[in-house]
Chains A and B, each alone.
Chain A
């Protein structure tokens, strides 16, 4: 495997992890806001708070990791994406900043303000939407060159059905991932009411998820036929993903093995995410930038990989400690330890 492939695989893996942990976080915010609006707050807030409090900062680092990593491994992407993303990325940063800081402000300062919870939930919808635009742009067709500098065509982007189907998919995925996870977590806390509510959400969002995902593949055929064809060659990955989705739904439906359902759901997204990623190969920005012409020099690539391995040796035990203390500690999860 070439260094380019190692680099993009590591990055794609971290982006995947961010999609999962980020979705849990964003979706939880949406459910929380929704439950306050419908006066069901007492059911969900506690469960959500207990999970979110210790981990939101770690979630954010996954995102930073991806951004810094892609600039390190593929410096040319800084030039291409940096030039075109000024507006969409700035919107994302501002939303992320408001979300992160208000989370801290609200949990430690002014508790229980409805406006905060509402804003917090709203950012949970807008952040995934604004981030997902980057995926759309990388499909090509929205970027032209003026004096050698890439320029984004906003009108084309905002009127393209592909854009909106990706936005819809990102939102539905956030809600689905989050509700499957929180069903399990609420079940672990022994909170029957919250489990039932989250289970209902998981079931509600499962079908739109598959519809939206199928819709995107359909849209791609009109938009980027190359990509569509390579997706078709990888049809088996998407088929596995679909089967995993059905199995998850079955477990949730039968109210059995919520923990296994979470794993199935994670693997479902993993197959789809990697199927999408592999079929996008070798392009970072279709058709202008591939992972081969954007790659860094060999010395830098090797040092980045070495640092990555050393870093993981440090990180994995620490992450394990964090999860053991908060996610798997029976007393903490049940709220007996604060």
Chain B
């Protein structure tokens, strides 16, 4: 139809589905964790506000889970439909974590079902809270296992390659690859960070609109604190990810940094425009920073992109993805740090609308950072689907009509995306927090 090349269309469809799923997946990892915190605070402090936060968030969670589940199911099938050659190969080596992931889903789905429909069935509220722990663990495990698969694609191991044939498979070693520790932890930390900042953004927004102040203030303070903790964790682990890349996937780091010549004391270049002959204009240059990121040593040598044959060089656009992620990471770190200091010192500028707008911006920015991080990690693996073993071209389906299917999914995601927003808005509008508070505090022990 409009694009006949099945490889290109398979790539576009994969990007589309994963990028859409990752929104919901991130929420699926981070939100149950935040609900646990609120619910626990509520029980400990005997504070209706926190209990209500947990309860209202849990209601919204159902909607995002539903879309997370159906888009996840779409990826699961699409991997085989779009990359049949890859899945045939991968099935032999890396099917184990995918299979484990299904059990994580099962676990999460069962307990989420129970948690949601049993708010009023336990006499002891703590027992009900316990039900949420398997949900949070299941969400984190889903992310864990799928990221293990992705780590394998970046640094395959656990088998031997003899004359182009895979032999001597070890499914466990295939899960424990060199890129796994940094990848898994970075993905988890950034998911928690993103959801915390998203809740902070909602609270800040409601505060500006003059909603129930003490409820949203509490929510804002807790969320910013947790966001700050995970922002630090993300940055530290991100630094380790950089060191991993320098050691095992130097071409990706070099492309992300527009670092062409191997050199010592390498500077880090942020943003900028690539001119002719690979010279960078208008960039922000931080001396020694790349050497530090890559090897923790300002004098260290960092391998440049020119060392690699042209057909194995990743697209240079990942520079922008990388910078987007780092800039946003630093910005959120600073934003939450200033907020916490200001709270501690009783400075009031953080309660002004100007600052609150920045916090509101934090939600879309954090999600953008997640997307940018994945784009950089996945596009930076090009041309490989399984680094060093199989390229994207070899893996893709040859079936016709991938473009038609692509259009179908664009439509589907449009419907799901708009549906999510409309339903969530309606849900929280229908019952404002003021109404909920009045309803639950009327001497009625419904929630306890």
**B399 x A83 contact (CB < 8 A):** yes
> B183-204 vs A: 1/0 string, CB under 8 Å?
0000000000000000000000
**A109 x B63 contact (CB < 8 A):** yes
**A325 x B70 contact (CB < 8 A):** no
Q: A83-B398, A318-B111 are in contact. Are A108 and B77 (CB under 8 A)?
A: no
Nearest residue in A to B100 (C-beta to C-beta)?
A: A307
Q: A104-B63, A300-B169, A304-B96 are in contact. Are A76 and B409 (CB under 8 A)?
A: no
A53 partner residues in chain B, CB cutoff 8 A: 113, 117
**B426 x A54 contact (CB < 8 A):** no
Which residues 45-95 of A have a CB within 8 angstroms of B? 53-55, 57-58, 60-61, 63-65, 67-69, 71-76, 78-87, 89-90, 92-94
Would you call B66 an interface residue if the criterion is a C-beta within 8 Å of the partner chain's C-beta atoms? yes
**A79 x B76 contact (CB < 8 A):** no
Q: A83-B84, A300-B95, A304-B95 are in contact. Are A67 and B76 (CB under 8 A)?
A: yes
A76 partner residues in chain B, CB cutoff 8 A: 88
> B405-448 vs A: 1/0 string, CB under 8 Å?
10011001001100110111011000000000000000000000
**A109 x B399 contact (CB < 8 A):** no
Which residues 86-113 of B have a CB within 8 angstroms of A? 87-93, 95-96, 98-103, 105-107, 109-113
Nearest residue in A to B96 (C-beta to C-beta)?
A: A303
**A97 x B73 contact (CB < 8 A):** yes
Would you call A3 an interface residue if the criterion is a C-beta within 8 Å of the partner chain's C-beta atoms? no
Would you call B233 an interface residue if the criterion is a C-beta within 8 Å of the partner chain's C-beta atoms? no
CB distance from B382 to the nearest CB of A (A): 22
**B70 x A101 contact (CB < 8 A):** yes
Nearest residue in B to A315 (C-beta to C-beta)?
A: B106
Q: A72-B91, A109-B423 are in contact. Are A96 and B70 (CB under 8 A)?
A: yes
Partner of A71, one of B72, B95, B408, B415: B95
Would you call B59 an interface residue if the criterion is a C-beta within 8 Å of the partner chain's C-beta atoms? yes
Would you call B26 an interface residue if the criterion is a C-beta within 8 Å of the partner chain's C-beta atoms? no
**B170 x A299 contact (CB < 8 A):** yes
Would you call B118 an interface residue if the criterion is a C-beta within 8 Å of the partner chain's C-beta atoms? yes
Number of A-B contacts (CB under 8 A): 218
B87 partner residues in chain A, CB cutoff 8 A: 71, 75, 78-79, 82
B397 partner residues in chain A, CB cutoff 8 A: 82-83, 86
A55 partner residues in chain B, CB cutoff 8 A: 113
Q: A299-B171, A315-B107 are in contact. Are A97 and B70 (CB under 8 A)?
A: yes
Q: A83-B399, A102-B419, A315-B103 are in contact. Are A300 and B92 (CB under 8 A)?
A: yes
CB distance from A12 to the nearest CB of B (A): 16
Q: A71-B98, A110-B423, A304-B96 are in contact. Are A89 and B107 (CB under 8 A)?
A: no
**B92 x A75 contact (CB < 8 A):** yes
CA distance A326 to B117 in the complex (A): 9
**B110 x A299 contact (CB < 8 A):** no
CB distance from B58 to the nearest CB of A (A): 11
CA distance A149 to B397 in the complex (A): 9
**B66 x A100 contact (CB < 8 A):** yes
Would you call A234 an interface residue if the criterion is a C-beta within 8 Å of the partner chain's C-beta atoms? no
**B63 x A105 contact (CB < 8 A):** yes
Would you call B71 an interface residue if the criterion is a C-beta within 8 Å of the partner chain's C-beta atoms? yes
**B412 x A82 contact (CB < 8 A):** no
A326 partner residues in chain B, CB cutoff 8 A: 113, 117
CB distance from B136 to the nearest CB of A (A): 15
Would you call B78 an interface residue if the criterion is a C-beta within 8 Å of the partner chain's C-beta atoms? yes
Nearest residue in A to B59 (C-beta to C-beta)?
A: A108
B112 partner residues in chain A, CB cutoff 8 A: 57
Q: A82-B87, A97-B74, A97-B416 are in contact. Are A90 and B399 (CB under 8 A)?
A: no
B93 partner residues in chain A, CB cutoff 8 A: 300
Partner of B81, one of A89, A103, A308: A89
Would you call A204 an interface residue if the criterion is a C-beta within 8 Å of the partner chain's C-beta atoms? no
Partner of B63, one of A63, A108, A299, A300: A108
CA distance A89 to B74 in the complex (A): 10
**A75 x B85 contact (CB < 8 A):** no
CB distance from A132 to the nearest CB of B (A): 16
Q: A90-B405, A90-B408 are in contact. Are A311 and B100 (CB under 8 A)?
A: yes
Would you call A135 an interface residue if the criterion is a C-beta within 8 Å of the partner chain's C-beta atoms? no
Nearest residue in B to A50 (C-beta to C-beta)?
A: B117
**A101 x B81 contact (CB < 8 A):** no
Partner of B105, one of A64, A84, A304: A64
B72 partner residues in chain A, CB cutoff 8 A: 64
A98 partner residues in chain B, CB cutoff 8 A: 412, 415
CB distance from A306 to the nearest CB of B (A): 10
**B96 x A54 contact (CB < 8 A):** no
Nearest residue in A to B103 (C-beta to C-beta)?
A: A311
Partner of B89, one of A74, A75, A86, A308: A75
Would you call A296 an interface residue if the criterion is a C-beta within 8 Å of the partner chain's C-beta atoms? yes
A303 partner residues in chain B, CB cutoff 8 A: 96, 171-172
Would you call B16 an interface residue if the criterion is a C-beta within 8 Å of the partner chain's C-beta atoms? no
Q: A58-B113, A64-B73, A75-B92 are in contact. Are A108 and B99 (CB under 8 A)?
A: no
CB distance from B20 to the nearest CB of A (A): 11
A64 partner residues in chain B, CB cutoff 8 A: 72-73, 76, 102, 105
Would you call A297 an interface residue if the criterion is a C-beta within 8 Å of the partner chain's C-beta atoms? yes
**B84 x A79 contact (CB < 8 A):** yes
Would you call A314 an interface residue if the criterion is a C-beta within 8 Å of the partner chain's C-beta atoms? yes
B81 partner residues in chain A, CB cutoff 8 A: 82, 85-86, 89-90
**A297 x B169 contact (CB < 8 A):** yes
B120 partner residues in chain A, CB cutoff 8 A: 337-338
CB distance from A183 to the nearest CB of B (A): 23
Q: A64-B105, A314-B107 are in contact. Are A325 and B114 (CB under 8 A)?
A: yes
Partner of A325, one of B91, B118, B171, B172: B118
Would you call B343 an interface residue if the criterion is a C-beta within 8 Å of the partner chain's C-beta atoms? no
**A318 x B107 contact (CB < 8 A):** yes
CA distance A103 to B416 in the complex (A): 12
- Give 18 A-B contacts (CB < 8 Å), ordered by A residue: A54-B113, A57-B66, A57-B113, A58-B106, A58-B109, A60-B73, A60-B109, A67-B80, A68-B95, A73-B95, A82-B397, A90-B81, A97-B412, A100-B73, A296-B91, A297-B92, A300-B91, A325-B118
